[in-house]
Amino acid sequence: MFTSRTFVALACFVASAFGATYSQTDSHQGSDFLQSFTHQAIADPTHGRVNYVDQATALAQNLTFSSGDHFVIRADDTTVLSASGPGRNSVRLQSNKQYTTHVTVWSLRHMPQGCATWPALWEVGADWPNQGEIDVLEGVNDQTPNQSTLHTSSGCTMPASRSQTGTSTGNNCDTAATNNAGCGVQAPTANSYGPAFNSAGGGWYAMERTSSFIKVWFWSRTDGSVPADVKNGATSINTDNWGTPYAYFPSQSCDLNSHFGAHNIIINLTLCGDWAGAVYSADGCPGDCVSYVNNNPSAFTNAYFDIQWLKIYG
């Protein structure tokens, strides 16, 4: 006989058994990216020494290309630049769709490396910073590890102590109060970014956004603990089986619903600019950043993303 207490117990069991289950809504691989993302030929908002090109130019110059399950975007690595001319040709892609509550899983074989590079996989609202920004993968000048960061308007902070394996770099997400640093979390492993990431064959990044929290996970290609649904890009996933994230941003002192709107997904590679340029010398890179970019095209031979796939769940 079912009593109200039995029903509650059963409901709790079902909730814990099925947890945070999502179904795949979008799958991007190879040439699919050319239909689902738009090349943004815009001035770089972070003031990098790049010239973002449109899709026709990117394809003609082989800065964007696909082959089977390889989708590559990269910077030009052949042209010596005039100091008075535009920056090095590069690519910035924006998803045509927008997302609120969702999960993204990236299978990456390679990410841009080298001095002056500033690659990122991230999400952002149309009204920045009022609709928020989530940086999943980001760094500069080959400095490990990866850092995942939130950027918001005022009134969004993170607790100093929370359930994550990474290390917080700051707990105030307000761009105005932090000189746009936001609230970042560094991954616990060096192979989460740059040459070490590439040497391991890349890996998987996953981000879950709800109204209660934002979480980010990373598994290296050689990590035997990667969940099967992540590794295989399954049509259904359960994020409760993925273990403790390295970055955890709860809503207890940040109303995520009011600080984060509908987001587009961005894939981009800039050079120098507000972050990579500012710490270029401190990171042990030669000369000055802009001159290095102008005069050393072959330094950017490895400045490319090779994306196996992107799966999105809702």
Q: Which two tokens stand for residue 147?
A: 């850092």
Q: Are 143 and 197 in contact (CB under 8 A)?
A: no
Query: In which element (H, E) is residue 15 found?
Result: helix 4-18
Q: What is the DSSP letter of 79?
A: P
Dist CA 232 CA 229 (whole Å): 5
Instruction: Verify whether residue 138 is a known catalytic residue.
Output: yes
CB-count exposure of residue 12 (10 Å: 0-12, 13-18, 19+) = exposed
Dist CA 271 CA 290 (whole Å): 8
Instruction: Compute how many other C-beta atoms are within 10 angstroms of the C-beta atom of residue 197.
Output: 28
Task: Please provide residue 93's backbone torsions phi and psi, each rounded to the nearest 5 degrees.
Answer: -110, 140
Dist CA 245 CA 238 (whole Å): 14
Task: Please provide residue 255's backbone torsions phi and psi, each rounded to the nearest 5 degrees.
Answer: -75, 100
Q: Are 181 and 170 in contact (CB under 8 A)?
A: yes
CB-count exposure of residue 298 (10 Å: 0-12, 13-18, 19+) = exposed
Instruction: Verify whether residue 123 is a known catalytic residue.
Output: no
133, 135, 208, 229: the active-site residue: 133
77, 138, 174, 229: the active-site residue: 138
Dist CA 289 CA 285 (whole Å): 8
Torsion of CA 270, 268, 233, 202, to 10 degrees: -10
Catalytic residues: 133, 138
